[in-house]
Amino acid sequence: MPYDDPDPDDPMTLTGVSLEAPIDAVVDAAYAYADELARSGLDRSSIMLTFSAPEYRGPHGAYLALGHERIRDIVNENCAVFEACRGARMGSNEHA
Amino acid sequence: MSDREQTGGIARRDFLRVLGVGLGAGIAGLPIQLLHAADPASNPLAGAVARDWEKIYRNQYRYDSMFDWVCSPNDTHACRVRAYVRNGIVTRLGATYDYQDYADLYGTKATVNWNPRQCAKGYTFHRVIYGPYRLRYPIVRKGWKAWADAGFPALTPELRTQYKFDSRGTDTFVRASWQDAFRYVAKGLHSVARHYSGEEGTQRLLSQGYQPEMVEETKGAGTRCIKTRGGMGLLGVIGKYGMYRLNNSLALLDAHVRGVGPEEALAGRNWSNYTWHGDQAPGQPWVHGLQASDCDFNDLRYSKLIVMDGKNLVENKLTDSHWFIECMERGAKIVVIAPEYGPPSTKADYWIPIRPATDAALWLGVTKLMMDNKQYDEAFVKQFTDFPLLVRTDNLKRLRAQDVFPDYKPGLTADGASMKVQNLTAEQYAKLSDFVVWDTKENRSVALSRDDVGARFVEKGTDPALEIRTKIKLVSGEEVEVASLWSLYQDHLKDYDLDTVHDITQAPKELIEQLTNDIATMKPVAIHQGEGINHWFHATEMNRAAYLPVMLTGNIGKPGAGCHTWAGNYKAALFQGSPQTGPGFKGWVAEDPFHLTLDESVPGKEVHAHAYTKDEEPAYWNHGDKALIVETPKYGRKNFTGKSHMPTPSKAIMFTNVNLINNAKWVYEMIKNVNPLVDMIVSIDIQITSSIEYADIALPANSWLEFEDLEITASCSNPFLQIWKGGIPPVFDSKDDAAILAGITAALGEETGDGRFRDMFKFEHEGKRGVYIQRLLDTSTTTAGYKLEDIMAGKHGPSGGCLLNFRTYPRIPFYEQIHDSLPFFTDTGRLHAYADTSEAIEYGENFIVHREGPESTPYLPNVIVSSNPLIRPDDYGIPQNAEHWDERTIRNVKMPWAQVKTTKNFLWEKGFQFFCMTPKTRHRVHSSWSNIDWHMLYDSNFGDPYRLDKRAPTVGEHQLHMNPQAARDLGINDGDYVYVDANPADRPYIGAKPDDPFYKVSRCMLRLKYNHAYPYDIVMMKHGPFIATERSVKAHETRPDGRALAENTGYQANMRYGSQQSITRNWHMPMHQTDTLFHKAKATIGFLFGGEADNHAVNTVPKETLVKITKAEDGGLHGKGVWGPTLSGMAPDNEDDAMKQYISGGFHGEAAF
């Protein structure tokens, strides 16, 4: 077990790296979280909780960056898609 | 910098845990920095009173309900999958762990060891159904709609341009209601039937340049130009195979258009599945007469020697691969024969590397060693093979009994196995006659019939000579020289001694000898061939040759033994009919539209089956819509396509559950030069595919989880009958396949005023699909006795599941032949090492031989490697420097190996010196799952959810594997983009010019990956990515994010440019197109001569190509420098010292505590 700090010379050590990303990527990330959690069958309030609770650090980072209102809109938008999946046949005008 | 600092202030372990959340989203541009702690200043544990956040974590696997469905792609497994539903959303999928409950009518149950059954495709299917690439509602191409709305005027070249038939890829789609869509399809079918019927239709077809033989085959019926394909119909017998039922109803359309009655009416052509995919082992019907030999996978446990020859049971048998892997624990030996060191080789006791497509030579060498060393089961050879049969050396035919014995009376009787059990007809028997052996007891020739096999043959008291050469006087008075096939093979195999075979195959001599001894001394032995064999031009010979060792050793018809082939889930014979049970499968797909059984209480056996359709290979469409008819110097115009195979011009193409165009070999030739002459293309699918990009009408089908009524399937590799329906409502405006087919036929009824069209799917319209399923169960040999309601009630296992009623569990092919002494399905009733059909003799393949391919060889294309004087091929006067693909296809030139080695392939001389393997991948089935984010990430070394390099077409991209040294010699770095080009005379399409914008779309460009598993002159590109289309290329070049995501359709390509199919083409193997091969019909107990789709027909061969690799772009970010991971020190051929130390075992040692 790796009780100590990883050996920097060990080629099998997993290394996480931080990458620069533009601030608008925060929106993409918030959409990704909301989409994945909606796919997981969570309802709106539960998804909002993952954003507002600091225990869920990724979503909460987006929450702090974008604010409650913006996050609520994103959650509502994603939940609407999957709520529609529950019974109604969906369509869109994309091809029209 | 400390570890904590690097990760934004949290411990490494926490950072990685957080990093894992949501990675599968596959959302482009997802920033890693967002995954850091939200607020470093806040301690989530300090003062946190509210604990409700924990509920989300603790309830993450909670579900409200669950249901079971069947994952039924063309991978042969048909796993029943459990869907877990929360808030109406299918949130996860898992195994059912209930295979031990599946039982047959007699109470036999399956073993618990089938559990679990599930692969990465089944458990990611919710990402398909909720994904962004679903086909959401019916759509119609604008140009086609304009043509339809103009009243379907006859299409002149000008009108084809006006309505964009010759530029479908640049047109746009508009939404249609279901009612309108059905009406458009019906009117389109009517238009084709009208335009191409009668003398006017014939002249119209001839004026469009179709071969006269193909036009003649229409017999004046325009409906014959309508082609339908129910994509791997067994995957959904009702909805997919139902396409052929729709086609059969087109006899009514012909009757309406031409005014003919049932006796003259003709429906359309049914396109094949198995052979079109190149999945069949085309040589197997030549050996045993059956479509294919395969077993239930749990039979693999019995094998003591498993030989994978061009078969990857690890990647392609997925959930069931454990059956062979377990054999390692059970003391069995595993051998792999393949050019590359692939996944199965890692499990093997030894791997025999081999030059591609030389496996026939290898098996002939093994056979020679076994014969020379007397390592064979003489009794089996005499009782079950054609080796003792006498062959005439003058005409190369087998000696027939009526030619030898005056007033000869045929040996078969009505109560014998051939006629009573196998339903051989008197008419067929008259063409077969009986055969002759030399009896050593009486020292004279004696007759034997096809019933004289096994114990029945022994009872006759004949002891046939294996070695005999003599002269025999015929009843005509002529004296002819004859010899046993065994003796003739002793001569024939002189060309395949160990040194020569080593030289041909490049396989190590000691391993060839080891394999020979293992097969000779171990029992049971099973040889498994697959796409690595079947996708070559001369697969016929490689399949036939692999049977020789099992024929010599009697490894057939017994547990753990056999020579099998694995690829698609093709086995319509699982629902075969018989005189005893009724029409089976044919009662569904070919119920007579003129005599429909509309009373649901009438037993299925009374359904009147009559096929007004005729089978056809899509390969002809795929060959420029041409049969194999060649202008020869010797005979002038010569036709090599048998009458039983002859195609018709393709004027309407309609398919379901298949990405037909995407998966067409030579796809850009189809798009550019063939499809412009097709009047209507209709695709029924669950997702937007490239086939839809180039279609006229697309109709959205329900997925397996959304089925609104029952569907039924079974598999060639397990004994499970599966019936199911969906558990969630359709997400989009889609319908069950059967409902779509019913809608089209109903619209045909409205179009023609003929109510019988609607009646064709009467019970579907009435919501009683179960009537059709019960009829299928009642009349199929494997399901007769089952009641649908019992199966659904769980009487025989889980609801919807039971076992097919086989003779044995596991199912063992040819068990009856060996155990009950029944004839094999050949004309002699024996396993064949020899083919005496006129075509086989003419093509030089009467004996099993090795031939170099017509393209993928350094030597003279298509040369026969032999000096045997009893191989007398016709070269038709084709010169040896001929380069046209059809001339190379038909030219039969015989040479001994020493001479072959001195010859050259003109393509090799021009620098096309790489063989290109195109195997299937574990991450897709054909093209299915190609656009699923998780699989795009898994499928290559270039998966990147962040798309840091905007050149990537999506979050993953296709790759070419190449030997590092070969790549370096061409100046190509690991990760670079490369062009892959084949013969420019015909690929990517005929007439391609670099300044044509479509050439840029169609030329294959992809990432290259160093891989030491591949020999120097072999590259590998997996089969079936979503191709680049005109719209996807435009998107890639104009969208700010660079994604290859087509405007209007939302089609997502896996390639920036081109496709795996840019380098492939169709080949028309003459041995696949005979009218004389006698063999078993695929879906009934009976026989036929010549062609039948998926059985004896052109089996496509995408590996038959040579390619040239050139660098296109640097692999580094944004096209600058080298691909980043190559600098990590851990990439193949770019290892740093630590990695080299690791690989060499330098880190291995005593653990230090």
pLDDT band, very low/low/confident/very high, at A95 (cuts 50, 70, 90): very low
**The two structure tokens encoding residue B57:** 């974590």
Nearest residue on chain B to A85, alpha-carbon basis: B731
**The two structure tokens encoding residue B221:** 């019926």
Write out chain A residues lying below 8 Å of B730, CB-based: 89
**A40 interface with B at CB cutoff 8 Å:** yes
Amino acid at B260: V
Where residue B566 falls (left for φ over 0; alpha for ψ -120 to 50; beta otherwise) is beta
Altogether, the residues listed in chain A come to a count of: 96
Nearest to B825 by CA among B311, B424, B356: B424
Nearest by CB: B89 against A16, A41, A89: A41
- E strand or H helix at B720, and its extent? strand B720-724
Distance of residue B695 Cα from the nearest chain A Cα, in angstroms: 15
Nearest residue on chain B to A27, alpha-carbon basis: B30
Radius of gyration of chain A (CA): 18
B1128 or A93, greater pLDDT: B1128
pLDDT of residue B21: 34
Contacts of B958 (CB under 8 A, 6+ apart): B940, B1006, B1007, B1021, B1022, B1025, B1054, B1055, B1060
Write out chain B residues lying below 8 Å of A62, CB-based: 34
**A8 interface with B at CB cutoff 8 Å:** no
pLDDT of residue A91: 57
Nearest by CB: B25 against A20, A32, A89: A32
Distance of residue B162 Cα from the nearest chain A Cα, in angstroms: 21
- E strand or H helix at B482, and its extent? strand B479-484
- What phi and psi values does residue B976 have, to the nearest 5 degrees? -65, 155
Distance of residue A91 Cα from the nearest chain B Cα, in angstroms: 6
Nearest by CB: B32 against A18, A38, A63: A18
pLDDT band, very low/low/confident/very high, at B922 (cuts 50, 70, 90): confident
For residue range B551-595, what is the model confidence (pLDDT) as tens digits? Answer: 999 999 999 999 999 988 999 999 999 999 999 999 999 999 999
Asked if the Cβ–Cβ distance from A95 to B137 is below 8 Å, we say: yes
A28 or B44, greater pLDDT: A28
For residue range B630-659, what is the model confidence (pLDDT) as tens digits? Answer: 999 999 999 999 999 999 999 999 999 999
CB atoms within 10 A of CB B294: 24
Q: Are B935 and B929 in contact (CB under 8 A)?
A: yes
CB atoms within 10 A of CB B999: 18
CA B930/CA B1024 separation, integer angstroms: 8
Write out chain A residues lying below 8 Å of B34, CB-based: 21, 25-26, 29, 58, 61-62, 65
CA B234/CA B242 separation, integer angstroms: 10
pLDDT band, very low/low/confident/very high, at B51 (cuts 50, 70, 90): confident
User: Hey, is B893 helix, strand or coil?
Assistant: coil
Nearest to B816 by CA among B828, B824, B827: B824
For residue range B115-130, what is the model confidence (pLDDT) as tens digits? Answer: 999 899 999 999 999 9
B50 or B1001, greater pLDDT: B1001
User: Hey, is B719 helix, strand or coil?
Assistant: coil
pLDDT band, very low/low/confident/very high, at B29 (cuts 50, 70, 90): very low
pLDDT of B458 > 80? The answer is yes
Distance of residue A19 Cα from the nearest chain B Cα, in angstroms: 6
**A27 interface with B at CB cutoff 8 Å:** no
For residue range B828-847, what is the model confidence (pLDDT) as tens digits? Answer: 999 999 999 999 999 999 99
Write down the residue that tokens 């002459």 correspond to.
B677
CA B852/CA A57 separation, integer angstroms: 62
pLDDT of residue A13: 66
For residue range B317-367, what is the model confidence (pLDDT) as tens digits? Answer: 889 999 999 998 899 999 999 999 999 999 999 999 999 999 999 999 999
CB atoms within 10 A of CB B814: 21
Output the CATH code of domain B139-276+572-803.
Answer: 3.40.50.740
* Number of cross-chain residue pairs from A and B with Cβ atoms under 8 Å apart: 183
Contacts of B528 (CB under 8 A, 6+ apart): B306, B307, B308, B309, B311, B313, B563, B564, B565, B566
Write out chain B residues lying below 8 Å of A20, CB-based: 33
CA B885/CA B965 separation, integer angstroms: 31
Q: Are B150 and B109 in contact (CB under 8 A)?
A: no
pLDDT of residue B477: 97
Distance of residue A69 Cα from the nearest chain B Cα, in angstroms: 17
Nearest to B638 by CA among B1073, B201, B209: B1073
Radius of gyration of chain B (CA): 30
pLDDT of residue A57: 87
For residue range B1025-1078, what is the model confidence (pLDDT) as tens digits? Answer: 999 999 999 999 999 999 999 999 999 999 999 999 999 999 999 999 999 999
Asked if the Cβ–Cβ distance from A92 to B21 is below 8 Å, we say: no
CA B90/CA A40 separation, integer angstroms: 8
Output the CATH code of domain B291-570.
Answer: 3.40.228.10
CA B47/CA B54 separation, integer angstroms: 15
Nearest by CB: B38 against A21, A64, A91: A64
CA B270/CA B617 separation, integer angstroms: 8
Q: Taking the domains of chain A in order of start, what are their residue ranges?
A: 25-84
Asked if the Cβ–Cβ distance from A61 to B15 is below 8 Å, we say: no
Q: Are B682 and B697 in contact (CB under 8 A)?
A: yes
User: Hey, is B394 helix, strand or coil?
Assistant: coil
Nearest residue on chain A to B176, alpha-carbon basis: A96
pLDDT of residue B25: 35
Contacts of B84 (CB under 8 A, 6+ apart): B61, B63, B66, B90, B91, B92, B93, B94
Asked if the Cβ–Cβ distance from B32 to A86 is below 8 Å, we say: no
Average pLDDT of the residues in A17-33: 81
Average pLDDT of the residues in B134-152: 97
CATH classification (class only), B919-1063+1103-1123? mainly beta
Nearest by CB: A41 against B34, B36, B86: B86
Nearest by CB: A5 against B3, B37, B64: B3
Asked if the Cβ–Cβ distance from B38 to A85 is below 8 Å, we say: no
Give, as one character, the DSSP assignment of residue B400. Answer: B
**The two structure tokens encoding residue B516:** 């020979």
Asked if the Cβ–Cβ distance from B38 to A63 is below 8 Å, we say: yes
CA B503/CA B865 separation, integer angstroms: 12
Contacts of B1079 (CB under 8 A, 6+ apart): B285, B289, B290, B291, B825, B826, B1087, B1088, B1095, B1096
Q: Are B652 and B227 in contact (CB under 8 A)?
A: yes
Amino acid at B370: M
For residue range B206-236, what is the model confidence (pLDDT) as tens digits? Answer: 999 999 999 999 999 999 999 999 988 999 9
**A80 interface with B at CB cutoff 8 Å:** no
Altogether, the residues listed in chain B come to a count of: 1153
pLDDT band, very low/low/confident/very high, at B44 (cuts 50, 70, 90): low
- b/e per residue B451-472 (b: at least 16 CB within 10 A): bbbbebbeeeebbbbbebbbeb
pLDDT of residue B6: 35
Asked if the Cβ–Cβ distance from B1138 to A11 is below 8 Å, we say: yes
Distance of residue A5 Cα from the nearest chain B Cα, in angstroms: 8
Asked if the Cβ–Cβ distance from B1050 to A40 is below 8 Å, we say: no
Asked if the Cβ–Cβ distance from B6 to A18 is below 8 Å, we say: yes
Write down the mean pLDDT value for chain B. 94
CA B588/CA B748 separation, integer angstroms: 19
Contacts of A50 (CB under 8 A, 6+ apart): A33, A37, A42, A56, A59, A60, B53, B56
Nearest residue on chain B to A33, alpha-carbon basis: B22
Amino acid at B596: L
pLDDT of A8 > 90? The answer is no
CA B363/CA B292 separation, integer angstroms: 19
Q: Are B546 and B583 in contact (CB under 8 A)?
A: no
Nearest to B335 by CA among B374, B358, B307: B307
pLDDT of B94 > 80? The answer is yes
Asked if the Cβ–Cβ distance from A29 to B12 is below 8 Å, we say: no
**A4 interface with B at CB cutoff 8 Å:** no
